[in-house]
């Protein structure tokens, strides 16, 4: 599934810059302000997230993640008082928080939890509407407002969020989650809405300005992994952490130094490539201009549907690993990771990148297929992403 958004106006766009409120005090906000974080809450503060985690484990929040059909990962949040519960996809490829509105009449809203404004006495609509277009479809957000947001013990007293007024049948009707909680940079948020992470940092809800994801290689509906807010868990990974600086503060985007199939390193990234680390995209996405070369190298054939690439299941174990050069390290994916086997029908977990490149360099998306192999750390203070082999 593809959730990375392109921002468009629905009815009326709010003017003004992204709102950041970092107050003084002996807190993480004070550290970030001292580092010059007034217009962007993600600046350089030197600290060791592993060491910090070990010294403050009790204040790190774990959010269990559910897996649905091995294609999406989501968890539970509550909004309002009394709390109304929703299942949301925690999406590092977008920045807005939204859930379905009681007024949504689209078929996609019928089989999902819907927000009841009448059950929250303090909810007031801003009267604004916006459209968010993801890779898999667009929806219209209306009745923007703010109410308490709770994720486990994390509570943001007034969190801005949107209510979907219209949702496309594909893919939302078939999704097992109700809405999306975006975790990318504030600059990607529609209409300048404050992100959930901004609220957590502004109200000192995180022990450290970091969050991390663990996706189980053998997920079940009951347990697909964990989102860890405010730290990392060394028990969920092995070996060293490879760090890569964020190259553009929009998505969690890093430089891809090279790409290899087996021992053959391509020249595709000799002039630079970019990769977006996205929990909301399931597959790996490859720049369109390289699809044919990868299919040839892996012996795959385009299916009659034209959107998937088949390989012989009996040959899977003989396929070469593929490797991504990131942060000076070579991050490998074995055939068992990048080949999907559905009852004896095998396809590559690869599709063409559906986003235009922001800087002209070939753009890749490292989705859940990649993230199941690598525990991933999003370091908001140092603007970097960490990768370590999952335990």
User: Hey, which residues are catalytic here?
Assistant: 91, 278
Terminal C-alpha separation, the chain:
25
Closest CA to 370 of 336, 337, 327: 337
Residue 266: HSE in the Cβ half-sphere, 13 Å Cα cutoff: 20
Backbone phi, then psi, for 143, in 5-degree steps? 55, 50
Is-cis flag, bond preceding 171, omega within 30? yes
Q: Which of 333, 354, 340, 283 is nearest to 310 (CA)?
A: 340
Would you state the structure tokens that stand for residue 131, as one six-digit string? Answer: 């459209």
Residue whose structure tokens are 């009790």:
58
C-alpha span between 390 and 166 (Å, rounded)? 38
The encoded tokens of residue 97 equal: 């928080």
Nearest to 203 by CA among 257, 139, 132, 154: 154
């Amino acid at each position: 599934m593809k959730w990375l958004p392109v921002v468009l106006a629905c009815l009326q766009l709010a003017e003004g810059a992204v709102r950041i409120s970092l107050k003084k005090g002996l807190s993480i906000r004070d550290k970030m302000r001292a580092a010059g974080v007034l217009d962007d809450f993600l600046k350089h503060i030197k600290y060791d997230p592993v060491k910090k985690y070990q010294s403050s484990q009790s204040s790190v929040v774990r959010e269990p993640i559910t897996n649905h059909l091995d294609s999406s990962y989501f968890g539970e949040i509550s909004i309002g008082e009394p709390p109304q519960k929703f299942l949301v996809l925690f999406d590092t490829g977008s920045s807005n928080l939204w859930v379905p509105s009681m007024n949504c009449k689209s078929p996609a809203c019928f089989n999902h939890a819907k927000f009841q404004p009448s059950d929250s006495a303090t909810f007031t609509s801003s009267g604004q509407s916006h459209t968010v277009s993801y890779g898999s479809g667009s929806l219209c957000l209306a009745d923007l407002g703010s109410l308490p947001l709770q994720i486990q013990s994390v509570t943001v007293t007034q969190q801005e969020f949107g209510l979907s007024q219209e949702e496309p049948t594909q893919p939302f009707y078939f999704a097992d989650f109700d809405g999306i909680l975006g975790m990318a940079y504030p600059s990607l948020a529609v209409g300048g809405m404050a992100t959930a992470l901004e609220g957590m940092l502004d109200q000192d809800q995180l022990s450290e300005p970091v969050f991390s994801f663990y996706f189980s290689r053998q997920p079940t509906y009951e347990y697909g992994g964990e989102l860890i807010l405010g730290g990392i868990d060394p028990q969920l990974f092995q070996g060293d952490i490879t760090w890569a600086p964020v190259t553009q503060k929009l998505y969690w985007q890093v430089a891809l130094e090279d790409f290899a199939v087996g021992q053959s390193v391509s020249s595709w990234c000799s002039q630079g490539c970019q990769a977006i680390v996205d929990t909301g995209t399931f597959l790996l996405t490859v720049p369109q201009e390289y699809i044919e070369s990868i299919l040839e190298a892996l012996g795959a054939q385009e299916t009659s549907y034209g959107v998937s690439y088949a390989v012989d299941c009996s040959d899977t174990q003989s396929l070469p690993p593929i490797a991504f050069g990131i942060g000076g390290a070579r991050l490998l994916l074995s055939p068992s990771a990048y080949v999907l086997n559905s009852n004896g029908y095998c396809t590559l977990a690869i599709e063409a990148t559906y986003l235009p490149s922001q800087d002209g360099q070939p753009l890749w998306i490292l989705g859940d297929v990649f993230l199941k192999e690598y525990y991933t750390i999003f370091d908001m203070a140092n603007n970097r992403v960490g990768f370590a082999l999952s335990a």
